[in-house]
């Protein structure tokens, strides 16, 4: 298999077959992220892609779901995505779904009719790290798009009936701003149809711009209990039916829920943690995280 650089997949794709479609990131400007800091974006040559498909066919010929790695393979244009999707079909005749990471920016250059065709070919499961739906937080994180962009592009996915998942990040707005971030993000997400929402909590690593900003006093990280309160507010203001997974290693108190049915149960669980765990214990846990690679 032709894996180069950092190979990363979300925890919910643990049972998917993995193939490298791209490596690196087309953007590399998010202030909290250093995953692909030293990697230039590269599309895997079709020769390598086919060789990897042939190897997968040898070991898992009946694979039903395949995850394309790379920070955002959906950045490829329609023709490139189409060629690779049809090539997967040639090798893995039982494959039903091809999932991958995507950015809001990657959807802009695709028309709804193209999204529908890609869905028909099996591309259906975009993991979108929007992190927030609050414009101030998006600007702070330097995401490169606005809340209006999120609405516009994801409505195209809804129109095409293409499944997508959001990532939300508690603590990203900084100390004292979590409530605002949660309210605005929940209001925005509730206008769309993410199949599920995965929640991470900001962990500052030294090789990120946001860490350097915190060292200079330009960014003050949210307290751990404030992050849990932010998650409670976010959950309580989501007005859609969706699955929520706040169970990666970045979350001190892992929870999962099917909303709105589990809303009260989960917020009570989080409240128990707030009342029975001291702040320092939570901070010590955060400091112990050396990477999020096991999340």
Q: What is the pTM of this model?
A: 0.94
Q: What is the edge-to-edge ordering of all strands in the sheet holding 97-102?
A: 17-20, 65-69, 97-102, 123-131, 164-170, 196-201, 242-246, 255-259
Residue 113: is its pLDDT beyond 50? yes
Does the pLDDT at position 295 exceed 60? no
Q: In whole angstroms, give the CA distance from residue 75 to residue 135.
A: 23
Tokens of 179: 């409530």
- Largest Cα span, the chain: 57
- pLDDT of residue 148 exceeding 70, the answer is yes
Residue with tokens 């997967």: 88
Spatial contact of 147 and 133, defined as CB atoms under 8 Å apart: yes
Q: What is the pLDDT of residue 6?
A: 74
Q: What is the pLDDT of residues 10-65, one digit of tens each?
A: 888 989 999 999 999 999 999 999 888 888 899 999 999 999 999 999 999 999 99
Q: What's the CA gap between 34 and 28, in Å, rounded?
A: 8
- Where on the phi/psi map is residue 8: left (φ > 0), alpha (ψ -120 to 50), or beta? beta
Which pair of tokens denotes residue 267? 């917020």
140 SS3 class:
helix
Phi, psi of 260 (to 5 degrees): -90, 0
- Region of residue 69 (left: phi > 0; alpha: psi -120 to 50; beta: else): beta
What's the average model confidence in pLDDT over 250-266? 96
Tokens 């010929």: give the residue.
Answer: 61
Instruction: Indicate whether 293 pLDDT > 60.
Output: no
Q: Are 104 and 147 a contacting pair, CB within 8 Å?
A: no
Question: Is-contact 150 193, C-beta < 8 A?
Answer: no
- H or E segment and range at residue 258: strand 255-259
- Helix crossing, 147-160 with 178-189: angle to 10°? 30
Residue with tokens 């060292």: 215
Mean local confidence (pLDDT), 171-195: 98
Query: What are the structural domains, with CATH classification, of the chain?
Result: 11-288 (3.20.20.70)
**pLDDT of 233 over the 90 cut:** yes
């Amino acid at each position: 298999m032709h894996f180069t650089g950092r190979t990363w997949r979300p925890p919910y794709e643990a049972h998917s077959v993995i193939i490298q479609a791209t490596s690196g990131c087309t953007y590399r400007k998010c202030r909290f992220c250093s995953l692909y800091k030293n990697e230039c974006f590269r599309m895997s040559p079709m020769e390598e892609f086919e060789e990897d498909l042939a190897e997968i066919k040898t070991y898992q010929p009946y694979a039903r779901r395949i995850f394309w790695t790379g920070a955002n393979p959906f950045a490829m244009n329609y023709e490139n995505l189409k060629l690779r999707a049809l090539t997967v079909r040639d090798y893995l005749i039982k494959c039903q779904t091809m999932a991958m990471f995507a950015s809001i920016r990657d959807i802009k250059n695709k028309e709804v009719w193209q999204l529908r065709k890609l869905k028909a070919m099996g591309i259906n499961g975009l993991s979108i790290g929007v992190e927030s739906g609050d414009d101030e937080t998006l600007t702070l994180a330097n995401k490169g798009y606005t809340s209006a962009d999120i609405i516009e592009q994801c409505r195209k996915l809804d129109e095409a009936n293409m499944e997508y998942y959001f990532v939300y990040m508690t603590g990203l707005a900084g100390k004292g701003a979590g409530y605002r971030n949660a309210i605005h993000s929940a209001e925005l997400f509730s206008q769309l149809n993410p199949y599920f929402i995965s929640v991470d909590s900001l962990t500052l690593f030294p090789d990120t711009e946001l860490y350097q900003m915190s060292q200079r006093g330009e960014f003050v990280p949210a307290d751990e209990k404030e992050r849990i309160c932010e998650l409670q507010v976010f959950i309580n203001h989501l007005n859609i039916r969706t699955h929520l997974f706040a169970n990666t290693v970045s979350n001190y108190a892992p929870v999962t829920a099917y909303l709105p049915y589990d809303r009260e149960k989960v917020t009570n669980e989080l409240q128990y943690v707030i009342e029975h765990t001291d702040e320092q214990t939570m901070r010590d846990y955060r400091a112990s995280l050396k990477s999020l690679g096991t999340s």
